[in-house]
Amino acid sequence: MIEDAADLAVLFDGAGGFAQAVTWTPKGRPPADLAGIFTAAHAAAGAGDWPGASTVQPVLTVAAADVPDGAGQGDKVDISGAQWRAADLQPDGTGLVRVILER
């Protein structure tokens, strides 16, 4: 459970955490550098007699306090040199925001 900023720092500390460097450029505003945890897309198809289905869009998880002012859908998000667009911002109520990404 995330209790405070120190708990978040463990996740997003570039030296020992899970985060990658991110440059977020809100529409009409200057870029902001922050740290985020990137989760790649996943897709699966049916196998055998079971049709099955699975999909997960690429997601960037960031500290809510680090989300740039004016951030929203369509913003440019650069993660370790890869270009993305923010499709949806989903605050989770614990101090984190899931940013659904698209190309």
pTM for the complete prediction?
A: 0.81
Q: Quick one: pLDDT at residue 53?
A: 66
Q: Quick one: pLDDT at residue 41?
A: 81
Q: Quick one: pLDDT at residue 58?
A: 94
Which CATH number do you get for residue 38?
2.40.10
Q: Quick one: pLDDT at residue 25?
A: 98
Number of domains in the chain: 1
Strands (E), the chain: 20-25, 32-39, 42-44, 54-56, 59-63, 76-79, 82-91, 96-102
Which domain does 21 fall in, by range?
5-102
Query: Mean pLDDT per segment of 10 residues, for the chain of length 103 residues?
Result: 68 72 96 94 69 78 95 97 97 94 95
Q: How far is CA 66 from CA 5, 55, 61, in A?
A: 11, 28, 11
